[in-house]
Amino acid sequence: MLKRSKWISYPVNMGFECPVIFKSFKTEKEIKRATLTISARGCYYATLNGERIGNFIFAPGATSLKRVQVQSYDVTNMLGFDNTIEVTLSKGWFQGRIDWRGSNDYPNDYEAVIAELSVTYKDGSCESIVTDESWSARRSAVRFSDFYDGEHYDATFIDESIVGVKVQNYDNGILVPQQGEFVVEHERIRPINIFKTPKGELVIDFGQNLTGYFEIFVNAKSGERVSFSFAEVLDVEGNFYTENYRSAKAEFLYTCCDGEQSYKPKLAFWGYRYIRVNEFPCEVTLDSVVAIVVHSDIKRTGYLESSSPLLNKLFKNIIWGQKGNFLDIPTDCPQRDEREGWTGDAQVFCRTASYNYDVEKFFEKWLTDLKIDQGDDGGVPSIVPQYWGDGWSGCGWGDASTICPWQIYLTYGNKDILRKQYSSMCKWLKYIALKSKNRYLWTGCEHFADWLGLDAPAGSYKGSSNDDFLASAYYLYSTSLVIKAGKVLGRSVQKYEALYERILKAIRKKFKKYKTQTECVIALHFGIAPDKEKTAKQLADMIIAKGTRLQTGFLGTPYLLHALSDNGYSELAYDLLLQEAFPSWLYSVKQGATTIWEHWDGVNEKGEFWSKDMNSFNHYAYGAVADWVYGVSCGIKTVDEFPGFERIVIAPIPTDKLDFMSAQIQTRRGLVSSKWFHEGGTIRYEITTPSRTTIIIDGKEYNVEKGSYIF
């Protein structure tokens, strides 16, 4: 791609200052069509005659460092007689602080642009303008830009010293067509309050923890400044709190020109609910700034509703958690010095994500990067794209390589994802066998395991569940998914079937007892527990002994309610779902959360923070509980043999604890919805299905075709 174009950059490394690469040209005939094909190392913000080209924010997106996506924009209506194309470049994911390789280690690795503008004239002739030595460069008004630290824009800055560009001999072979969704602007949210904190700081509250940027409106004299800091929460005294952003400075600085003006940051984003106004040239009002939500352009498909306002708020928070963390890659959180594609978080949330939104294309791209960054030994990096680390993988994190493709296949019914990922799935199993100290188990390796489980020993982030047990269980589970995927693709899976039996036997032999909630959950959900009834009772007893409270972390939580309801304890599952005291999903809601928290007591009952190092208030992982509401409470289940909702099982499990629950998923085949509610002493079910469905109500099966049904 872009074979005739050259990679060009500013002639010297500009650090975190953004250069502009530009070219002026004339088009002297009537234009039929003009297309700009463009990409960059770093992120680009391109304009033609002063107008932004396209709506892709942070183009060309976040990919493995081994490939860069190329975009094409129709610019026919943007061209005039005299034209200037300008491309502002930031380090973005490529070499900003988010890429933990550290830009200092790569002083000769420049952000660079490559582009071709193809113009077809009405007379049939064509012309191409390609990036080459004829382009020029200057320093831009974006004086500083980094995802973690923010942006400084100086509206008074003019660089008179135009210089020639440097042609870089970067490989064009890494260019690939755009694969993912564009990241675009979504809602604009007005502030709900402006107030002074006890410390006397001026703070704007948007009422919603969100990811994106904002637009400011200001009347100023040249040189006056707007300076903002960002926070997700206030501390117990009501003061502005930024410690949980860790080393991310998360600032915004704008130097004004004269008069009325507005500005939107070009190449940075923040995760925030509150803005502290450090400097502002005029009175700050509710009209001074509007928040702009930015995320991948995924289409909403799923909706949940219940008779409980708290639960409904939780459902909203789950959606906000997804919006805030689906910014080209599935990130752990959008605010502190991470914002990385943590594999564990992505696999935990993948099913919920795929019901809430159409994320097929989004995951296809991310999984392609996972496969590209997977080591030769099969190791899956803890974060994808792999901006740091040595490909070390732990259980439940590396297993994103098997769990996500299988889920995307189940939700959307397209075999392509399995075809593309199958070799990566198999390689992952090889990696486990290679690293494990025991045959047919996964032992002796390092894991994040039940990350942030509440049964963690003092001073540790890791729950008390046995690493070797969890790892071996995931080995078993991933093997089962390779078998399923292999069968779909018509591959011979005998060796994996034999492996599965051996792992199961070895786990059962070695791990006879389960000592934590998460161990019980995993033993039940992955079909390991030989005596399900006994293990389910143990789990239920443990939960009740804690006062009907969970103790689970990243690996136990997603399957906790499933393990209960699959084994006769659906009422206990509802008790946990509806639990309002710490620790629970609704605890954070009662504390005023507007997104999903990373830790069950991000803010504890005294109003204090549990930690400053690991305390994000926008971490979607525990939002995975939504898939239990879709799939068990409302009972909408995919069928392995008929994926993509070609056939459906709908088996709702209602409760007396709620008046109603309803779920809707706009599938590729049409709307599937399931609602149950109490009416006149009985329960009424309203079900709509787009395909042949087995409805199971009170143990009775009804086989129905597409349509709407009432029971």
Kindly list the catalytic residues.
Answer: 338, 598
| All residues at 6 or more sequence positions from 388 whose CB lies less than 8 Å from its CB, including other chains | 99, 100, 101
Q: With CB under 6 A as the contact rule, which of the stretches 71-79, 182-190, 337-345, 555-563 interacts with ligand BGC?
A: 337-345
Per rule CB under 6 A, is residue 451 in the interface with ligand BGC? yes
Give every CB contact of residue 537 below 8 A, 6+ residues apart in sequence. Answer: none
- Which one among 338, 358, 360, 468 touches ligand BGC, defined by CB under 6 A? 338
| Under rule CB under 6 A, residue 345 binds ligand BGC | yes
Residue 448 found at the interface with ligand BGC (CB under 6 A): yes
The least CB distance from residue 637 to ligand BGC, in Å, is 28
Burial string for 94-120 (b: 16+ CB within 10 Å, else e) reads bbbbbbeeebeeeeebbbbbbbbbbbe
Give strand pairing partners of 703: 694
| Range 305-321 burial, b when 16+ CB lie within 10 A, else e | bbebeebebbbebbbbb
Q: Classify strands 136-139 and 163-164 as parallel, antiparallel or unpaired.
A: antiparallel
Q: Is 332 in the site for ligand BGC (CB under 6 A)?
A: yes
CB nearer ligand BGC, residue 428 or residue 448: 448
Min dist CB 241 to ligand BGC, Å, is 18
Q: Is 467 in the site for ligand BGC (CB under 6 A)?
A: no
Residue 409 near ligand BGC by CB under 6 A: no
User: Among residues 289 and 400, whose Cβ is nearest to ligand BGC?
Assistant: 400
Compute the distance between CA of residue 248 and CA of residue 242 in angstroms, rounded to an integer: 9
Q: CB under 8 Å to 691, separation ≥6 — which residues?
A: 642, 645, 646, 647, 648, 669, 670, 672, 706
Shortest reach from residue 519's CB to ligand BGC, in Å: 18
11/110 Cα distance (integer angstroms) = 9
First to last CA, the chain: 58
Q: Which is nearer to ligand BGC, 244 or 255 (CB)?
A: 244
Say which residue the tokens 């009804």 belong to.
702
Minimum CB distance to ligand BGC smaller for 507 or for 596 = 596
As a whole number of angstroms, the distance between CA 206 and CA 317 comes to 15
CB-nearer residue toward ligand BGC: 54 or 389: 389
Is 344 an interacting residue with respect to ligand BGC (CB under 6 A)? yes
Rounded distance, CA 74 to CA 534, Å? 63
Q: How far is the CB of 345 from ligand BGC (least distance, A)?
A: 5
**With contacts defined by CB under 6 A, how many residues of the chain interact with ligand BGC?**
8
CB 334 within 8 A of CB 324: yes
**Whole-angstrom distance, CA of residue 20 vs CA of residue 45:** 9
Q: How far, rounded to the nearest angstrom, does the alpha carbon of residue 553 sit from its chain's CA centroid?
A: 19
Minimum Å gap between C-beta 463 and ligand BGC is 11
Q: Which one of 275-283, 342-350, 481-489, 533-541 is the stretch in contact with ligand BGC (CB under 6 A)?
A: 342-350
Q: Which range touches ligand BGC (CB under 6 A), out of 232-240, 292-300, 339-347, 439-447?
A: 339-347
* Segment near ligand BGC (CB under 6 A); pick from 336-344, 370-378, 410-418, 516-524: 336-344
Instruction: Indicate which single residue of 240, 280, 342, 609 sits in contact with ligand BGC (rule: CB under 6 A).
Output: 342
Q: How far is the CB of 271 from ligand BGC (least distance, A)?
A: 12
Give 457 or 680: the residue with its C-beta nearer to ligand BGC.
457
Q: Select 332 or 519, whichever has its Cβ closest to ligand BGC.
A: 332
Among the residue ranges 341-349, 497-505, 540-548, 571-579, the one whose residues contact ligand BGC (CB under 6 A): 341-349
620 binds ligand BGC (CB under 6 A): no
Nearer to ligand BGC, 337 or 364 (CB): 337
Query: Which ranges of 23-101 does DSSP label H, i.e. alpha helix?
Result: 92-95
| Rounded Cα gap, residues 354 and 372, in angstroms | 23
Distances in Å between the Cα of 587 and the Cα atoms of 310, 347, 578, 660 are 10, 24, 9, 21
Torsional sign, CA 360, 366, 371, 377? negative
Region from 27-35, 213-221, 331-339, 464-472 binding ligand BGC, contact rule CB under 6 A:
331-339
Q: Give contact residues for ligand BGC (rule: CB under 6 A).
A: 332-333, 338, 342, 344-345, 448, 451
